[in-house]
Amino acid sequence: RSAHDAREAMSAFGAKGAGLVRDIAQSEAGTIPPYNDELIRTVLDECQEHHRSILKLIGDIQEAGTSLEAAKPDDAASILVHHQAVLRNKRALLVYLNERMRRVRALRWEVGTGLPEVVAENLSHSERSFFTSYSGLVNKYMGRRGGVGLNLTLDPTPPKDHKVQVRVLEDYGEIVTRDGNVDLSKNTVHLLWRDEAQPLITEGILEKLDE
């Protein structure tokens, strides 16, 4: 093989892995593109091919009765290039998978425990399992038994106060709160616990008066 051919082959190493990184980097922020199973398998197959090439080079060196330390510079360089190509592919795979995992985690805080079907279709089986497990951990942490006893998904930023002042926008009737029963009659104003008021604020029953 000519030196030019060798350089062409070397320049192609990692091209598929770089494609994975571009796939996730060029996707719209906050979205999760379809899991690129085909390209991932191609990158893994390429790693296996590099591994086989390394083993063959080492075998040829040993058959010639030469130690690896005394191998020809060309052979040593070839082993190093194949090894670096495997490491580059590994980094590309980790960037792709870790960024997808970060976005899957963010979904739990944005949509709750129910994974939208349109999103689930873009996830791998492992990613869907991860979402379910992560959601379970979040629920356990927020629970009243063994957890902090707060719904941390109600506000994107930590609240300054645990209670909020609200105005009732329409007659809703009586609700039971930690402080007792509260009659939510239209235009009345109440001071409620944030986690108890937020669902009604979301439904349009209550209006938050304070920031």
How high is the mean pLDDT of the chain?
Answer: 87
Residue 158: the pLDDT is: 63
- Count the helix, strand and coil residues of the chain and give each as a percent rounded to the nearest 5: 60, 10, 30
pLDDT at 104: 95
pLDDT given at position 77: 87
Q: How far apart are CA 51 and CA 207, in angstroms?
A: 63
**Tokens read off for 27:** 């996707």
45-71 confidence digits (pLDDT tens): 999 999 999 999 988 888 888 877 777
From 34-43, 89-98, 127-136, 171-180, the region with the lowest mean pLDDT: 171-180
* Strand pairing class (189-193; 163-168): antiparallel
Put simply, whether the predicted model's pTM sits higher than 0.75 gets the answer: no
Give the model's confidence band at 210: pLDDT under 50 very low, under 70 low, under 90 confident, else very high: low
Let me know: does 120 contact 128? Beta carbons within 8 Å. yes
Per the listing, tokens 């091919």 go with 49
The predicted structure's pLDDT at residue 93: 96
- The predicted pLDDT at position 211 comes to 58
Pairing outcome for strands 173-177 and 180-184: antiparallel
| pLDDT score, position 116 | 87
Sign of the alpha-carbon dihedral angle for 146, 151, 153, 155:
negative
pLDDT above 80 (res 12): no
* Residue-wise burial string across 39-77, b where 16 or more C-beta atoms lie within 10 A, e elsewhere: ebebbeebbeebeebbeebeeebeeeeeeeeebeeebee
* 6 pLDDT higher than 50: no
Q: Which of 22, 18, 77 is nearest to 46 (CA)?
A: 18
Q: What is the pLDDT of residue 67?
A: 79
Report pLDDT for 159: 63
pLDDT digits (tens, 9 = 90+) for 102-130: 999 999 988 888 888 999 999 999 999 99
pLDDT per position as a tens digit, 163-202? 889 999 999 999 999 888 999 999 999 999 888 888 898 8
Q: What pLDDT does 53 receive?
A: 92
Distance CA 94, CA 65 (A): 38
Answer whether residue 148 shows pLDDT above 90. no
CA distance 20 to 106: 21
